[in-house]
Amino acid sequence: MSDNYPSVHARGINAILQVAERFGVPQNKLLSQAHLEAEWLRHADDHLPVERQFDTYRIAAELTGCDDIGLYVGRTLFFGSLNLFLYMSTLCDTFRDYLNLQPSILKLRGDIGETLVERKGEHILVVWKPRHAETAAERFLTDEILVTAAAIVDTLCIDPIPVLRADFTYKKPKDLAQLKLAFGDNLHFEQPRSCLYLDGRFLKSPIIKLDYELDEDWTSALEDLFEDELHEDPFLHATRHSIARALPLGEVAIDRLAAELGVSRRTLQRRLADRGTYFLEVLAEVRSELASRYLADNRLGITEIAFLLGYSDLASFSTAFRSWHGMSPSEYRAR
């Protein structure tokens, strides 16, 4: 994606189609009026011009007569990304960990904007920053992003984390029923920015852990990924495990990795050299093994896998994967 040709992934438009159908609008009717082809939306990770999503939202709201459509789309997208959040639970121990690793909307959805996390006194703020100024005054994307954030926050942790206050940049709607169901009664409109207020005391709230062994179809948690190495070489196991946990943050820096392992950069390099390897080689091996494991689970989208592996975009992941396995991620998954 580039600034000259902003785009979005098809999954967002597919969610609008699904919600519109729930309100009685056939998908073929909405596709026709939005000048969309079903083939363009066949794969969730395919890109379309960002204007296509904005137009589809406006047409869907008109056809359904539902001003709350963004809330329904946000719920739909949250459910569609549950598998990503399940994997995130293997990377995080506390709510603070999740906030540090939270998926980038730009990476997972496209050029629509980004969410930021801020600390304000005793509160945590989840702030929505739309990339296109003209959409800030509309409800659709704001409702979608904030209701998704609220659902994630209230699902990941053992403690329920309620929204204490919700601010919106758009004007106060006549009907607040669905907004109150989603965010509570403390709603404020025509604010400088759209955001959710959460209680900062929940930062240490533990993330729910799942026992993947209860279901043989689920990929094992990261704690078990390099289990064979744990007894053979504890240091290499710790290094690979730390890399796997840090990948969603982006590029893994050797200095940060060394600090996490409690050694100096030089000591880390020496210990890896003693084992006949080096940092970038271990990093590539971890990414390659994780990529193969993630691709075996069809419930994860390829864009989501690229995020989990720390790549800034799908093209970078595809190039790296082809160098490891001689084929694209989609070809590997098809096999």
pLDDT digits (tens, 9 = 90+) for 31-76: 999 999 999 998 887 889 999 999 999 999 999 999 999 999 999 9
Among 163, 181, 204, the domain boundary falls at: 204
Place of tokens 């309100």: 23
pLDDT in tens, 264-315: 999 999 999 999 999 999 999 999 988 988 888 777 888 888 888 888 778 8
Q: What are phi and psi of 26, to 5 degrees?
A: -60, 145
Mean per-residue pLDDT, 119-125: 94
Whether residues 66 and 83 fall in one domain: no
Question: pLDDT, tens digit, for every residue of 1-26?
Answer: 344 578 888 999 999 999 999 999 99
- Cβ-based neighbour number of residue 329 at 10 Å: 22
Average pLDDT, integer, range 163-178: 96
Residue after which a domain boundary falls, among 174, 204, 234: 204
Distance CA 151, CA 160 (A): 10
Mean pLDDT score of the chain: 86
| pLDDT digits 0-9 by tens, 225-256 | 555 555 578 888 889 888 888 887 777 889 98
The number of angstroms, rounded, from the C-alpha of 270 to the middle of its chain's C-alpha atoms is 36
Q: Do 178 and 259 share a domain, yes or no?
A: no
Amino acid at 128: W
Nearest alpha-carbon partner for 304 in 74, 51, 42, 86: 86
Quickly count: other Cβ atoms within 10 Å of residue 40's Cβ. Answer: 14
**Which of 95-104, 115-124, 192-201, 318-327 has the least mean pLDDT?**
95-104
pLDDT given for residue 1 in this prediction:
38
56 and 103 share one domain: no
User: What total of structural domains would you count in the chain?
Assistant: 3
Which pTM does this prediction carry?
A: 0.76
Provide the residue range defining the domain that includes 136: 79-204
